[in-house]
A and B are shown apart, each in its own frame.
Chain A
Amino acid sequence: MSENTQQQQSGAVQTTGHAWDGDLQEFNNPLPRWWVWTFYATVIFSLVYWVIFPTWPYANTYTKGIGNTITFKNDQGEEVTTHWNTRALLIEDMQNGEEALKQKAYLEKVNAASYEEILSDPDMMAFTESTAKVLFADNCAACHGPGAALPASAFGLYPNLADDAWLWGGKLEDIEETLIKGRNGYMPAFGSALSEEQLDQVASYVLSLSMDGIDAQKVAAGKEIFNGQAGGCHYCHTKEATGLESQGAANLTDAIWTVANVPSAPTTEAKLVAVKKVIRDGINRVMPGWSGRLSDDEIKQLAIYVHQRGGGK
């Protein structure tokens, strides 16, 4: 048992007065009283909090808080007033927050500006890059790839938007039209119209337009077919083989291949096979029109974004 030997020296720490085994004592450092008040204050704080904010679950619902509501517009544009919750708080902030209003004002400025004005204003360009990047990722990247270009393994499936070849025209107005109406990139299959030899000749001619070392005889014969009635290729690709933008016909004289996978074919023979395959089978690529899904302003931003990828015309 402890004995009571209250030791009290001035300046020394008080003990509880207990002593065990003769000299084992217990210090008594009482907590300051304001500390307890602070604790009571937190209790009062939580009581107030319970009233104002959603707190207690009961049955299949919970207390909603009193006099603390958030009003925002829902997806249908209706005004909704709800009890305080962080999700509504976020929506409200996205609609009326300081940054949201700033963004809105900027968006209006961009929407009101002409293409030429936007292209000449670095701030508007940077802003459009940021907003359209999201639009592109949501709507375009599924086919065209997140960087507006597909990896080599997906060659030819969808046009590369990051280079400077524009099947349907690279001016902003052309890109806008493509976005609004969509495009149908169609080339008939020549597999039944041309013999295997003729296919070989046309392919040789087409390949010779952008590389050397192709059999000159075949090239000459191929050119005949290309520009004559037998093939009729020049109707869309023109006699110079530079392509008609109104038809979405590719320029065959440049270094870019959009469908025939010439770049990754290792030998001239393989390149010929790649070109021949396209002539034989034809092309039918469709891009849908986006006017139903995207607003005019969104299409405008996207047109600038796409124009900027490869450096448009």
Chain B
Amino acid sequence: MADQQTDQQPLYEARRSIFPRSVKGRFRNIKWAILAFAYGVYFLLPWMRWERAAAPDQAVLFDLVGRKFYLFGLTVYPQDIFWLAGFLMLAAYLLFFVTGIAGRVFCGYFCFQTLWTDVFVLVERLVQGERPARIRLAKQPMNGEKILKLGLTHLLWLLVAFATGLSFVLYWGNAPDLIVDYFTGKAPFAAYGTTLFLTATTYVMAGHAREQVCTYMCPYSRFQSVMFDKDTLVVSYDSKRGEGSAGRAKLGKGLKSREERQAAGAGDCIDCGYCVQVCPTGIDIRNGLQIQCISCALCIDACDAIMDSLGWERGLVAYTSERQAEEGRRARLLRPKVLGYFIVLLVIVAALAWNVSHQQLFDLSVAQERLPLYVTLSDGRIQNSYEFKMNNKTGGPLELEFEVVGLEGAELDLGNFSHVELAPDQRLRLRAHIKYDPEAAESGSQPFRIRAVPVNRSDLQPFEKDAVFSWPGGN
């Protein structure tokens, strides 16, 4: 018997289409503003120009072939990879910090899945109409109108998806050149491949998968519950007020004014369903906090609109905390966890800022040759050999001369390169011999410094690097 029952239940669940109704309100306005800003940055940033002496004049350019990232006035070299670690830590702790205070703010307002889904729903609404019209269209049999409207929707979706993919590609090359190459078929395969991939993912994720991404694919939505506590802000329904003693009730005969309803024990929720209709993940906030909820706050806007029209006070659905709901006290902002996240954030920001502002504009490394560590020369002096590696990150040409500091009477032999010129971004390896007479010195080695003097730049300090000179007799 039980088996029969099981057999009737589907093993897999088809996605139930969600047709979010549009809503106007505070949070919707904030979301529109964030969306406009995010899209503005994403689509326009590759076109922003920035004067550079020896590189494309693109403000933000990730030059993989040249192994350099240009971010406005900053040039990031492979050696600066630690900044990426710092940036990722910053992003992670910012997420923890914000989530600790206000829950899934990232999900509801900033996540690209939310932003792009918002745009795709907007397209859907502009083409097919408001929620009832869309539901009707979905239900009606295939005909000319349906083909036209659905076709137009999908075409526009694909256009947005393509623009998204193309814009991403433009960050990796000089946009004005790349776009010409792109449409004349001369761009590298990676450009077309990336566009195709991102167009496909954008179209599928924002057009078709939508809330499935948040519910089933996103790891963040699953682990953020550990960052929640009693004081974390969540979107919730005031069930005491909404349900009253006899539950929610529609506006009906004898249940029109607030006084009538309170007399009848009915709550303030008129069960209009607006909060459910606007929800992009298709849940009913009145059932409490659910994993699908991305805290977009559109249900707050919906309920506020209804309450305003009834002339009742807002806040039946609102941002609140568990503590406020249970104890009636305001959420505490200064909690050990939040403060801890904040302090870590400050440390990361400070370390990153210090490191970025103290970027070495010139890299010099001095590696002593180990095999042989030293040789005796015909005049009795000892010779050590070194490899100098340098990288000019000053943005301009650099003329260098080298000196030995702290090794009295030593001779530095750089062959023809005692004076070298480095073009901007040029890397160079030089082989240096140092000849020195250690005389009666007992220990077998002496530390000294190699100094590179930028002779054409009076504004730059000489660069120094520690090295060691070795001779027989030591350890």
Chain A residues near B (Cβ < 8 Å) = 1-4, 6, 10-11, 16-18, 28, 30-36, 119-120, 122-123, 125-126, 129, 145-149, 160, 162-165, 251, 254-256, 263, 308-311
User: Is B383 a contact partner of A32 (Cβ separation < 8 A)?
Assistant: no
Query: What are the nearest 9 A-B pairs in CB distance?
Result: A147-B371, A254-B378, A11-B287, A255-B380, A149-B372, A30-B13, A126-B429, A163-B375, A33-B12
- Nearest B residue to A98 by beta-carbon distance? B65
Chain B residues near A (Cβ < 8 Å) = 1-2, 5-6, 9-15, 209, 212, 216, 283-284, 287-288, 290, 369-372, 375-380, 383, 385, 413, 415-417, 420, 428-431, 433
User: Is A146 a contact partner of B377 (Cβ separation < 8 A)?
Assistant: no
User: Is B375 a contact partner of A33 (Cβ separation < 8 A)?
Assistant: no
User: Is A310 a contact partner of B10 (Cβ separation < 8 A)?
Assistant: no
Rounded to whole angstroms, the CA-CA distance of A163 and B380 in the bound complex is: 11
Give the most central of B5, B370, B378, B380: most A CB within 10 Å.
Answer: B378
- Nearest B residue to A254 by beta-carbon distance? B378
User: Is B428 a contact partner of A35 (Cβ separation < 8 A)?
Assistant: no
Partner of B2, one of A18, A33, A36, A251: A18
Given contacts A163-B375, A310-B375, A311-B383, is CB(A30)–CB(B12) below 8 Å? yes
User: Is B2 a contact partner of A32 (Cβ separation < 8 A)?
Assistant: no
User: Is A17 a contact partner of B6 (Cβ separation < 8 A)?
Assistant: yes
Give the most central of B12, B209, B430: most A CB within 10 Å.
Answer: B12
- Nearest B residue to A36 by beta-carbon distance? B12
User: Is B13 a contact partner of A254 (Cβ separation < 8 A)?
Assistant: no
User: Is B428 a contact partner of A34 (Cβ separation < 8 A)?
Assistant: no
Rounded to whole angstroms, the CA-CA distance of A233 and B6 in the bound complex is: 108
User: Is B415 a contact partner of A32 (Cβ separation < 8 A)?
Assistant: no
Given contacts A251-B378, A311-B413, is CB(A32)–CB(B12) below 8 Å? yes
User: Is B376 a contact partner of A162 (Cβ separation < 8 A)?
Assistant: no
Partner of B212, one of A6, A34, A162, A256: A34
User: Is B2 a contact partner of A2 (Cβ separation < 8 A)?
Assistant: yes
Given contacts A17-B2, A147-B372, A164-B383, is CB(A129)–CB(B11) below 8 Å? no
Give the most central of A34, A35, A36, A120: most B CB within 10 Å.
Answer: A34
User: Is A146 a contact partner of B371 (Cβ separation < 8 A)?
Assistant: yes
Name 11 extra pairs, CB < 8 A, besides A17-B5, A162-B372, A311-B433: A11-B290, A17-B9, A30-B10, A34-B15, A119-B416, A125-B431, A163-B376, A254-B380, A255-B378, A308-B415, A311-B415
User: Is A255 a contact partner of B2 (Cβ separation < 8 A)?
Assistant: no
Rounded to whole angstroms, the CA-CA distance of A6 and B15 in the bound complex is: 22
- Contacting residues, chain A, for B429 (C-beta < 8 A): 122, 126, 129
Rounded to whole angstroms, the CA-CA distance of A32 and B216 in the bound complex is: 8
- Contacting residues, chain B, for A32 (C-beta < 8 A): 12-15, 212, 216
Rounded to whole angstroms, the CA-CA distance of A275 and B283 in the bound complex is: 98
User: Is B375 a contact partner of A162 (Cβ separation < 8 A)?
Assistant: yes
Can you spell out 5 A-B residue pairs with CB atoms less than 8 angstroms apart? A30-B9, A30-B13, A122-B429, A126-B429, A162-B372
